Structure 1
Amino acid sequence: MKHWICSIIMLSISTLAHAIDIQSDTIYPKVKLETTMGNIVVELDRKRAPITVDNFLTYVVKGHYDNTLFHRVIPEFVVQGGGLNPKLEEKPTDKPIINESGNGLSNGLGTIAMAREDDPHSATAQFYFNVGDNTRLDPSKRRWGYAVFGEVVEGMEVLEAMSMVETQINTKLGWADFPVKEIILTKATLLPRQ
């Protein structure tokens, strides 16, 4: 039964990938993230995280990430975004995806991974960058981890600068680690095949 459900999900994602042209035949697609602090380019690993990469690229191509906030910044830990617009409203998302944290990729410095809630299969659109070696976020024999699906290949200095901004508790949302001066992801673009 579990294998059957996974097959249906993979078929659905594959069909969606072809329908919206997310380069489903490219193993290591690249995405450019233009932010108010500079540009970051990530290379994604479809070989190890096919569901996660296709999910992320679907949001990229649909324009979901354009004009969103990086809303959680913790030095030497993570920089997280992909879920809020500048009015502090959560953006609507598609259904959650299966957790691919057991794919052999680790939450090391400069990697990109999916944010989620306590439910291991609750990741939708929010993602985070590791700005430290966060192997404690990897899976173990007793728990699910957080799925890494790529790494920064350009703009690491931008990410490091983001990780050092001043933060506060956002009074409207009640969230800690919120940048005092907003950091906006102005545009996410799937780069052409090379």
Structure 2
Amino acid sequence: MARIKPQALLQQSKRKKGPSHISGTTSIFYTLIFVVIMFFLFATYSHWSTRTTFQPESYISVSEDENTIVESKKSDIPEYAVVITSKGSIIVELFKESAPEVVDEFIDLCQKGHFKGMFFHQVIKHYVIQAGHKGPGATEDWNLLGKKYASMRHEAFMLGTSKGKYFNKGFDLFITTAPIPDLNEKLIVFGRVIKGEDIVQEIEEVDTDEHYQPKSSIGILDVVLRQMV
């Protein structure tokens, strides 16, 4: 039996180990590729899952914030006005629901100081007291300009403005001193006196001339807006 030389044995050993070494490397290589692919798929899934989750929530959050702002603006509208006259203060509740545009205009004019220094230039007992910067008569200058605003019944101590002047970019103030339903087509009612009826009656009782103009000046010093009284 022939003996195998040591060199031949060494070469055979190398050839046997060779395939085993290549197989291990290949396995590691494919394992790394698999791990990378799985990581990429997991990252993609996480990204889209997170985006889908947060989009509706952020939309709802914005909507809720907008609603909060709208509600806040509504609640910021003053509900009362204090008409400070030379005879005393008259507190008026504003009708924000029934005459919103008129109330908004009134509030804007108050903030601009429109009513400061305005005189009660027409006083008709058991009828109305009228304050304004100008205007001749208490009744003859009223214009019946349609029914854009359906004024409520004119009970005593209601605050209103004449339709004629309002639609012509003017704004005067009337406070009724008796129930006067025939004024429904001439006045826009946007508030009512809740305190200071005695001041209204005191103004009503001043001496006037034949044109219903007070013989002594009675004016509005200021109008203060309030949320509560």
Q: State the TM-score, normalized to the length of structure 1.
A: 0.68
CA contact (8 A) 1:69 1:81 kept: yes
CA contact (8 A) 1:101 1:146 kept: no
C-alpha displacement of 1:178: 0.8
Structure 2 SS opposite 1:47: coil
Residues 83-118 of structure 1: per-residue CA shift (max 9 Å, x gap)? 25xxxxxxxxxxxxx965315x2211010011243x
> Counterpart of 1:181?
216
Distance 2:166 2:227 in 1: 32
C-alpha displacement of 1:168: 1.5
Gaps of 5+ in 1: 1-22, 85-97, 139-143, 170-175
C-alpha displacement of 1:152: 0.2
Please tell me whether residue 114 in structure 1 is matched to residue 161 in structure 2.
yes
Structure 1 SS opposite 2:201: helix
Q: Of 43, 49, 64, which aligns to 2:93?
A: 43
Q: Of 186, 197, 215, which aligns to 1:156?
A: 197
Distance 2:124 2:153 in 1: 19
How many residues align structurally?
148
Q: Which runs of 4+ in 1 moved over 6 A?
A: none
Gaps of 5+ in 2: 1-72, 135-145
Q: Of 104, 112, 118, which aligns to 1:68?
A: 118
C-alpha displacement of 1:58: 1.0
Q: Of 97, 101, 111, which aligns to 2:149?
A: 101
For the aligned residue pairs, the C-alpha RMSD in angstroms reads 2.7
Instruction: Work out which of the two has the higher radius of gyration on C-alpha atoms and give 1 or 2.
Output: 2
Letter in 2 for 1:56: F
C-alpha displacement of 1:121: 3.2
Distance 1:186 1:33 in 2: 8
CA contact (8 A) 2:162 2:186 kept: no
Distance 1:48 1:26, change over 3 A: farther
> Counterpart of 2:226?
191
Letter in 2 for 1:165: V
Q: State the TM-score, normalized to the length of structure 2.
A: 0.58
Residues 154-191 of structure 1: per-residue CA shift (max 9 Å, x gap)? 1000001111111125xxxxxx2111000010111111
> Counterpart of 1:172?
none
Letter in 2 for 1:121: F
CA contact (8 A) 1:102 1:145 kept: no
State the identity as a percent: 23
Please tell me whether residue 165 in structure 1 is matched to residue 200 in structure 2.
no
